[in-house]
């Protein structure tokens, strides 16, 4: 995958889409993944904090907001992602 490019990875369940997204995001200095389910976002958060420092990963869902001051990677539910970007004054197009 190329830097500064958005890529959609589509496929059936259990084909490695989430794993590919995680590995791709971690290959960059910063990144954000939007998840359709809170539990999936939490599961991925738990996996990533085992790989890298906990203070570099943020989890933002309707129920949980763990946002370290020096977070580089943001894991959000889709509805929380929009709110977070607006709070940060980042241009967001739904």
Q: Homologous superfamily of 17-87 in CATH?
A: P-loop containing nucleotide triphosphate hydrolases (3.40.50.300)
pTM for the predicted model, two decimal places: 0.79
Q: Which of 4-18, 31-45, 53-67 has the lowest mean pLDDT?
A: 4-18
Tens of pLDDT, residue by residue over 37-56, are 999 999 999 999 999 999 99
Segments making up each domain of the chain, as ranges? 17-87
In this structure, the chain runs to a length of 94
Encode the chain in three state secondary structure.
Answer: CCCCCCCCCCCCCCCCHHHHHHHHHHCCCCEEEEECCHHHHHHHHHHHHHHCCHHHEEEECCCCEECCCCCCEEEEEHHHHHHHHHHCCCCCCC
Residue-level pLDDT at 86? 57
12/56 Cα distance (integer angstroms): 30
Tokens of 52: 């890298």
């Amino acid at each position: 995958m190329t830097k500064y490019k958005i890529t959609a990875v589509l496929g059936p369940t259990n084909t490695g889409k989430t794993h590919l997204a995680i590995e791709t995001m971690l290959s960059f200095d910063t990144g954000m993944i939007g998840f359709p389910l809170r539990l999936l976002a939490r599961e991925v958060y738990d996996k990533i904090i085992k790989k890298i420092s906990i203070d570099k990963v943020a989890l933002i869902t309707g129920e949980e907001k763990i946002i370290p001051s020096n977070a580089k990677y943001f894991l959000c539910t889709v509805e929380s992602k929009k709110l977070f970007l607006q709070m940060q004054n980042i241009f967001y197009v739904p």
